[in-house]
Amino acid sequence: MELGAVPMRRYGRVPASAKLRCSSHGYGVNMVDVVLIEDDPELSDALSRALNKQGYPTTVATNGLDGVKTVVERAPGVVVLDLGLPDISGFEVLKMLRPVSSVPVIVASARHDDADIIRAFDLGADDYVTKPFSTAHLAARIRAVVRRSSVNVADELRVGELRIDRASHTASLRGEELTLSPKLFQLLAHLAERQGQVVSKKELCTEVWDLPYVETDKTVDVHVSWLRKALGETADSNGYVRTVRGVGLKLVDPR
């Protein structure tokens, strides 16, 4: 679908996406949630529907301040940002975002002037596309910034609002740092690396504890219980850690 097919005024983005799930795609890059900051309802609706069809769950923010708030709260995979917003400019959004977030930002604007493009990059934009453009073109840009970003922040794992930083050996949930023992951190990181996949207790014993699996050993069960407590959930709460009876465990985005 060509964006020129709808009334083109501004198209922007917001960092975050409620319901963002990573799923495999034929291009070798995991799908990520997109936040679109756009005040034009017709345009934002057309873009969000098209991106959702391409496998990018998309959340829309209609002004710059709401967009910044959404990014901080939801930590999306990619932000698509319009420059002409009703409250503050896209340039101001970039200024506010960069001290608190390294999320990849694609500026999508009808502005063609070199001065605007250079200013956007200087303020921290990762890419810049000019309207009109097709959603296939935008999706390709999204894949490209995700690839670059995955190389640069390979030590950070994200599952929903859960962040695991292997470099600093820290984890946080909704921006609050979790208190985890070294072994609980290893357990969480191992599950996060395989998010959405069922991991057997045998694998956890050998990979996290470096021990042979003994069916009567409750080491994994006890640590999973502690991990759930650290995340503020129980076995019955349908939270991040899910038990698949008779098979193992998996870490999922519960949103």
| CATH number (domain holding residue 197) | 1.10.10.10
Q: What are phi and psi of 211, to 5 degrees?
A: -130, 150
Q: Where among 152, 186, 219 does a domain terminate?
A: 152
User: Which of these three, 152, 175, 202, is where a domain ends?
Assistant: 152
User: Can you list the residues of the chain whose pLDDT is less than 50?
Assistant: 1-30, 152-153
Q: What is the tally of structural domains in the chain?
A: 2
Q: What single letter denotes the amino acid at residue 186?
A: Q
| CA distances (Å), origin 255, targets 33, 48, 103, 149 | 12, 19, 20, 24
User: Residue 215 has what pLDDT?
Assistant: 78
Same-domain check for residues 145 and 187: no
Residues 108 and 226 reside in one and the same domain: no
- The domain that contains 42 carries what CATH number? 3.40.50.2300
Give the domain-ending residue among 152, 185, 202.
152
Does residue 237 sit in the same domain as residue 192? yes
Same domain, 171 and 206: yes
| Same-domain status, 123 and 200 | no
213/45 Cα distance (integer angstroms): 51
The C-alpha angle with vertex 148 and arms to 190 and 253, in degrees rounded to 5, equals: 40
Alpha helix (H) residue ranges in the chain: 41-53, 64-74, 90-97, 114-122, 135-152, 182-193, 201-207, 219-230
Q: What is the structure's pLDDT at 20? A: 34
The rounded distance, in Å, linking the Cα atoms of 161 and 253 is 8
Q: Which amino acid is at 111?
A: R
Nearest CA to 162 out of 238, 241, 96, 218 is that of 241
- What separation in angstroms does the CA of 157 have from each of 23, 52, 67, 162, 166? 15, 23, 23, 8, 8
Contacts of 16 (CB under 8 A, 6+ apart): 33, 35, 59, 70, 71, 73, 74, 75, 76
Q: Say if residue 115 is in the same domain as residue 231.
A: no
Same domain, 62 and 126: yes
Query: What pLDDT score was predicted for residue 31?
Result: 63
Is 129 found in the same domain as 98? Answer: yes
| 225 plus 237 within the same structural domain | yes
Closest by Cα among 213, 237, 234 to 224 = 234
Instruction: Clarify whether residues 22 and 58 are in a common domain.
Output: yes
- Give yes or no for a contact between 231 and 179, defined as CB atoms under 8 angstroms apart: no
> Which structural domain, as residue segments, surrounds residue 163?
156-251
Per residue in 63-114, pLDDT (tens digit) is: 999 999 998 887 888 999 999 999 999 999 999 998 888 889 999 998 989 8
Q: Are residues 223 and 147 in the same domain?
A: no
Provide Rg for the chain, Cα atoms. 20
Q: Report the alpha-carbon distance of residue 16 to residue 69 in Å, rounded.
A: 9
Q: Based on the fold, state whether residues 210 and 170 are members of the same structural domain.
A: yes
